[in-house]
Amino acid sequence: YKTVDIYGKKVVIVWPDSEAEKINDDSIEISTKVKRPFPLASNEWKKEPTKIKVKDVEIGGEKVVVAAGPCAVENEEQTLTVAKAVKRAGASLLRGGAYKPRTNPYSFQGLGEQGVKILKKASDETGMPVVTEIMDTRDIDVFKTVDMVQIGARNAQNFNLLREVGKLGKPVLLKRGMANTVEEWLQASEYILSESNGNVVLCERGIRTFEKSTRFTLDIGGMIAAKTMTHLPVCADPSHPAGKRELVHSLALASVAAGADMLIIEVHPHPEVALSDSEQQLTPESFEVLMNRIKAVVSALGRKV
């Protein structure tokens, strides 16, 4: 048995639930009726949607939250320029990569701790909380200053990292691994929740399929299927699956129309010279156009940005 402090309750996890009958202590709340392999993340147990606060930004409520910023933090000026532009256009969170998981060892690997400092500075100047990716359990201390910690697709089943981020207690943006089923993704979130950290947003970022006209296949159906099984908010990342700028708008609009609670979008002042993902980052101008369209769609469906 494992006892977890979560959502203001003490919960004893009994899974598989066939063993639940062995517990005879009536004073504890037991997740006996959970059939799914992610008892804490399942909405069998907790029926009301979870709202997550990243400083004063609420994810999972009426408002659709947009996090925007550069794929990689390259320097202070670039980051601050983008931060101001995306804030002006309506973004609520600043996202940017300091530690970068790159397929090739000879590609630009990010600024690391220095990048996190730059993000914090841009956050202080603009008032937007920061979300950025962690790649290594040894870096956990660096992330104590960050507002929301991202687990990237390539670490989506790095279980030790999931546990450590759970213990850290910060809100987590958990990307789905590119080959993970919805059920595996929800079990990955369970690693964080079972460390008594209930502040997880599930982020769909595209899965690996045979189709190559896009970089990945954004699985909007899978994102919504997840939402039917969990109380956690869901987010879409349209930039990585699009791979090309002209598709980012369509995938972003599709995601919010389907019911995403959050979007994460790459914006760069000069995408053509970006040190990574130059094909898919939007200019600030294009991002502003997109934000206006997002606002229109979201408002047509009774939500706000």
Residues 111-150 that bind a second copy (CB under 8 A): 135-138
* Closer residue to a second copy, CB minimum distance, 156 or 173: 156
Restricting to residues 259-288, name those near a second copy by CB under 8 A. Answer: 259
Check if the beta carbon of residue 178 is closer than 8 Å to that of residue 103.
Answer: no
- Least separation, in Å, of the C-beta of 129 and a second copy? 26
Span near a second copy by CB under 8 A; candidates 49-57, 71-79, 85-93, 242-250 = 242-250
Span near a second copy by CB under 8 A; candidates 54-62, 89-97, 104-112, 119-127 = 104-112
Q: Which of 258, 283, 286, 303 touches a second copy (CB under 8 A)?
A: 258
- Least separation, in Å, of the C-beta of 249 and a second copy? 9
Check if the beta carbon of residue 33 is closer than 8 Å to that of residue 21.
Answer: no
Check if the beta carbon of residue 48 is closer than 8 Å to that of residue 190.
Answer: no
108 touches a second copy by CB under 8 A: no
213 touches a second copy by CB under 8 A: yes
Span near a second copy by CB under 8 A; candidates 55-63, 87-95, 120-128, 216-224 = 216-224
- Measure the CA–CA gap between 231 and 40, rounded to whole angstroms: 9
Restricting to residues 40-99, name those near a second copy by CB under 8 A. Answer: none
Q: Which of 226, 263, 267, 274 touches a second copy (CB under 8 A)?
A: 226
- Least separation, in Å, of the C-beta of 12 and a second copy? 12
Amino acid at 50: T
* Closer residue to a second copy, CB minimum distance, 65 or 82: 65
Span near a second copy by CB under 8 A; candidates 68-76, 167-175, 221-229, 269-277 = 221-229
- Measure the CA–CA gap between 250 and 241, rounded to whole angstroms: 11
12 touches a second copy by CB under 8 A: no
* Sequence-distant contacts of 86-91: CB under 8 A, at least 24 apart: 86/128, 86/267, 86/284, 86/287, 87/126, 87/127, 87/128, 88/288, 89/284, 89/287, 89/288, 89/291, 90/66, 90/291, 90/295, 90/305, 91/66, 91/67, 91/128, 91/265, 91/291
- Least separation, in Å, of the C-beta of 91 and a second copy? 19
Q: Which of 125, 144, 159, 279 touches a second copy (CB under 8 A)?
A: 159
Span near a second copy by CB under 8 A; candidates 74-82, 89-97, 206-214, 261-269 = 206-214
251 touches a second copy by CB under 8 A: yes
- Least separation, in Å, of the C-beta of 162 and a second copy? 8
- Measure the CA–CA gap between 202 and 236, rounded to whole angstroms: 8
- Measure the CA–CA gap between 53 and 66, rounded to whole angstroms: 14
Q: Which of 32, 37, 58, 145 touches a second copy (CB under 8 A)?
A: 37
* Closer residue to a second copy, CB minimum distance, 75 or 137: 137
- Measure the CA–CA gap between 197 and 147, rounded to whole angstroms: 14
DSSP for 118-151, please give it: HHHHHHHHH---EEEEE--GGGGGGGGG-SEEEE
Check if the beta carbon of residue 200 is closer than 8 Å to that of residue 232.
Answer: yes
